[in-house]
Amino acid sequence: MLGTGLVLQDNAADDLVVASNGSFTFTTPLATGASYTVTVKSQSRILTRVCTVSSGSGTVAAAAVVDVVVTCAAPAARFAYVANSGDNTVSTYTLDATSGALSPMVVPTVATGSFPHPVAVDPTGRFAYVPNADSGTVTGYTIDVTTGALTPMAVPSVPTSRPYSITVDPTGRFAYVANADNDPPKADNNTVSAFTVEAKTGALSLIGTVAAGTNPQSVTVDPLGRFAYVANYTSGNVSAYTIDAATGALSPMGVPTVTTGVNPTNVAVDPTGRFAYVANSSDHNVSAFTIDQTTGALSPMALPTVMTGTRPYQVAIDATGRFAYVSDAGANSVLAFAIDAAGALSPLAVPTVVTGGAPYSIGVDPTGKFVYAPSIDAGTVSAFTIDGTSGALSPMVPPAVAAGGGALGIAFSR
């Protein structure tokens, strides 16, 4: 499980707070022959996981009951969204949980601002946000939980500087925007803006901004919502911040930046929150770091980089944390790696698969069964299934679906 806040209940009366994986025992004993019904009273505050109970009811026999199982896992995605940076739209899809196939919705696109960048969806699947780099805004949408359709919020956009990336923290309470460089420069270029997310409406309210490096391209939050990392393209480093759990405010870590390769574009954190990987787009490699579990500080691994193709742009990690996939915008491919227990990357037996032209982004669905690579040049999304044992990728049939011009980034909603 991730985070705190999970409460189980027996027979609608006996509450038990569960703080970690392992066995659990309710406080109130039951006599032999008594009935029990175990349910989830409240979920963890980390909303990317949903906990369910199996074998939760029965009658107490002469021995302790040991077959009640609580499983916490990411829900399967039902919808997907791709920003079309050349068309100023978002393509909307339904996602088949069995096959991974994407199908355009009845209304296949919605309008955005100018030069939209990758969509972010809140962990409850109710709100979506699009950073519009040339408009200097973030557009917010509500998600129809039945159809997945997007509807602009009552206040459809909030101003930022030159937003290239937005992410919503795993509690769903805060959002962070990386504001890139600009020509001519603006006062709030090269910053990260922090927002609160209104729980009922999804509306964003500015908390404040903090300085980043030069030309930040993306912002990533760790799985527990404690730390944030920003890839600074021109500075060649990553800015690291702690997140105030009460207010969402960002504070630079004691060591505020770590050096990467040339022109880093993306930071990916594995599902356990122990490892981070940075795509260095002009160095043909990925930097690998361990994450200090107390401070969030990044330290280079023993093997600090692994070679990739000609222009690695984004890293995505599967739900099990065993495989990593890198979009190579220069070679029109996806590179596949295994992740060992120490976080080190090694190429799979079949290290690459072909995509459409210039895949600047990549996404793995929340269950870790499918990989999707939008193509800027082709205006398509290449789709693959993941072999659960080896991590190998196999193209779906058909191997790609249409998107809009300049397809960039894919986000999923449950």
54's enclosing H/E stretch is: strand 50-54
CA atoms within 13 A on the CB side of 397: 0
Residues 170/224, Cβ–Cβ less than 8 Å: yes
- Upstream peptide bond of 163 is cis (omega within 30 degrees of 0): no
pLDDT of 386 higher than 80 = yes
The Cα-based distances of 235 to 188, 265, 299, 349 in angstroms read 17, 11, 18, 34
pLDDT, position 125 = 97
For 349, counting Cβ atoms within 10 Å of its Cβ (0-12 exposed, 13-18 middle, 19+ buried), the class is: exposed
Q: Is the pLDDT of residue 242 over 80?
A: yes
- Residue 315 to residue 55: CA distance in whole angstroms: 38
Q: What does residue 187 show for φ and ψ, rounded to 5 degrees?
A: -60, -35
Distance CA(410)–CA(100), nearest Å, equals: 13
Task: Count other C-beta atoms under 10 Å from residue 149's C-beta.
Answer: 16
132 CB contacts (<8 Å, ≥6 apart)? 88, 112, 113, 114, 115, 116, 117, 138, 139, 157, 163
Give percent of the chain with pLDDT exceeding 90: 95
pTM: 0.95
- If DSSP codes are grouped into helix, strand and coil, which group holds residue 300? strand
pLDDT for 162-220, tens place per residue? 999 999 999 999 999 999 997 777 778 999 999 999 999 999 999 999 999 999 999 99
pLDDT tens digits, residue range 131-145? 999 999 999 999 999
pLDDT band at residue 106 under the 50/70/90 scheme: very high
How large is the average pLDDT for residues 57-61?
A: 95
Q: Looking at residue 226, what DSSP letter applies?
A: S
Measured torsion, CA atoms of residues 210, 242, 324, 302, in degrees rounded to the nearest 10: 110
Cα atoms in the Cβ-side hemisphere of radius 13 Å centred on 90 = 34
Where are any strands of DSSP class E within 61-203? 69-73, 79-84, 89-95, 102-111, 120-121, 127-132, 137-143, 150-159, 163-168, 174-179, 191-197
Instruction: Give just the sign of the alpha carbon dihedral 129, 249, 169, 253.
Output: positive
The answer to whether domain 79-413 has CATH 2.130.10.10 is yes
Domain-by-domain residue ranges, the chain? Answer: 6-73, 79-413
Place of tokens 């939209």: 116
